[in-house]
Structure 1
Amino acid sequence: MTDADFEPKVVKASGPVLAVFRAEWSGVCRALDPILADVAKEYAGRLTVARLDIDRSPETPPKYNVTAIPTLYVFKGGKIVGTRIGPSSKGNVVELITPHL
Structure 2
Amino acid sequence: MRSLRMSVVVIVTDSSFGNDVLKAKLPVLVAFRAEWSGVCRALDPVLADIAKDFGGRLVVARLDIDESPQTGPRYNVTAIPTLHVFKGGAIVATRVGPASKANVAELVKPHL
TM-score category (smaller protein): over 0.9
The answer to whether structure 1 residue 58 and structure 2 residue 86 are counterparts is no
Aligned to 2:29: 18
Number of the residue aligned with 1:31: 42
Aligned counterparts of 2:74 and 2:82: Cα–Cα separation in 1? 13
Q: Secondary structure at the match of 2:62?
A: strand
1:29-71 Cα distance to aligned partner (Å, 9 max, x none)? 0000000000001111000001000000001111101000000
Identity of aligned residues (%): 70
What letter is aligned with 2:51? A
- 1:40 maps to which residue? 51
Q: Residues of 1 paired with 2:44 and 2:18: CA distance?
A: 22
Are 1:74 and 2:74 matched, yes or no? no
Which is richer in helix?
1
Q: Report the equivalent of 1:7.
A: 18
Report the aligned-residue RMSD: 0.5
- Which SS does the other structure have where 1:4 is aligned? coil
For 1:55 and 1:85, locate their aligned partners in 2 and report how far apart those are by CA, in whole Å. 18
Q: Which runs of 5+ in 2 are unaligned?
A: 1-11
For these two proteins, the number of residue pairs brought into alignment is 101
Taking the aligned partners of 2:45 and 2:26, their CA distance within structure 1 comes to 22
Instruction: Give TM-score scaled by structure 2 length.
Output: 0.89
Counterpart of 1:91 in structure 2 is 102
CA deviations 1:5-43 (Å, max 9, x no partner) are: 011110111110001100000000000000000000111
Deviant stretches of 4+, over 6 Å: none
Q: Which runs of 5+ in 1 are unaligned?
A: none
One-letter code aligned to 1:61:
G
Distance in 2 of aligned mates of 1:70 and 1:11: 20
